Amino acid sequence: MPRASNLDPAVAARLRRDGAGLVAAVVQQYDTGEVLMLAWMDDEALHRTLTTGRATYWSRSRQEYWVKGETSGNGQRVVSVALDCDGDTVLVKVDQTGVACHTGARTCFDGQVLLE
């Protein structure tokens, strides 16, 4: 079910959303290139991210918006946002404060290497 949004219609027209109205957001540390996490955005989360400079995502489990670091203090200052060639993924480059993963790890991709 689409949620109301103030996202620029020109930007919204470029998005290819999944069945739930979401696009994947790959989050990367802007200066090192370290991949920190993957989250989900709908149009309004993207609008909030672009206009506030604070990374805002849509929680699929809680069905609500969340600003990274709002409760943990481990925030993400947005440096840039880019849309991929298919329009179904955004790359959010951030300056991460503290850890990115809810487990307490720096990145959500620590310790789960499947192939090197």
Q: Dump pLDDT digits (tens) for 8-48.
A: 999 999 999 999 999 999 999 999 999 999 999 999 999 99
Give the span between the Cα atoms of 70 and 56, in whole angstroms.
10
Instruction: Share the mean pLDDT of the chain.
Output: 93
Tokens 């809810």, located at residue? 102
**Which pLDDT band, with edges at 50, 70 and 90, does 1 fall under?**
very low
What number is the average pLDDT over the span 57-65?
Answer: 95
Query: Torsion angle, CA of 12/64/102/23, rounded to 10 degrees?
Result: -20
Give the E-state strand segments of 12-116 in sequence order.
23-29, 35-41, 56-59, 64-67, 76-83, 89-96
Specify the pLDDT at position 92: 98
Q: Where are the alpha helices (DSSP H) in 24-90?
A: 43-52
> For residues 61 and 64, what is the distance between their CA atoms, to the nearest angstrom?
8
Cβ-count burial of 97 within 10 angstroms (0-12 exposed, 13-18 middle, 19+ buried)? middle
CATH 3.20.20.70 for domain 9-96: no
